Amino acid sequence: MKFRLLAPAVAFSALALVGGTAVTSGTAVAASKPDCSRQIVNVPAKEAVKVRTSKKVNATAVSQWNKGKKGSLCNDGHFYTGQKYKKCGKTSTKWLYGSEFGKKRGWIPAACIKWS
């Protein structure tokens, strides 16, 4: 009976010696934004489209990229996979990170950007 209580007591004592917090092997890492040091510039939007906080259709809009207005795409226009959408006449899961010039950056459905 005493032996059953010994293991939890030893574990508790060891925990107290290392600072009182349990150590986990994994750590939570915040999702980082794409690298904007390399950009594709002067890219126009096919239609007016909301620039969003994440790669989801219902994510918070931070700005709008208006039809025909030019902007820039981060990370050399690399595509990222996100929520499936039907926008600008296409269905896709491809998203880009960028914005119309002078506006806040965010996620844009790739189908709404003109590639020349």
3-state secondary structure of 88: coil
Whole-model pTM: value is 0.72
Q: Is 1 strand, coil or helix?
A: coil
pLDDT at 24: 41
Please report, for residues 4, 8, 14, the alpha-carbon distance to residue 17 in angstroms, rounded to integers and kept in the order given.
Answer: 21, 14, 5
Per-residue pLDDT of the chain (116 residues; tens, 9 = 90+): 455 555 555 444 444 444 444 444 444 445 678 889 999 999 999 999 999 999 999 999 999 999 999 999 999 899 999 999 999 999 999 999 999 999 999 999 999 999 75
Fold classification of 31-112 (topology level): SH3 type barrels. (2.30.30)
Give the pLDDT of residue 102: 95
Domain boundaries, the chain: 31-112
Residue showing tokens 């980082």: 32
- β-bridge mates for residue 106, sequence order: 98
Give 55: exposed, middle or buried? Use CB within 10 Å, 0-12, 13-18, 19+. Answer: buried
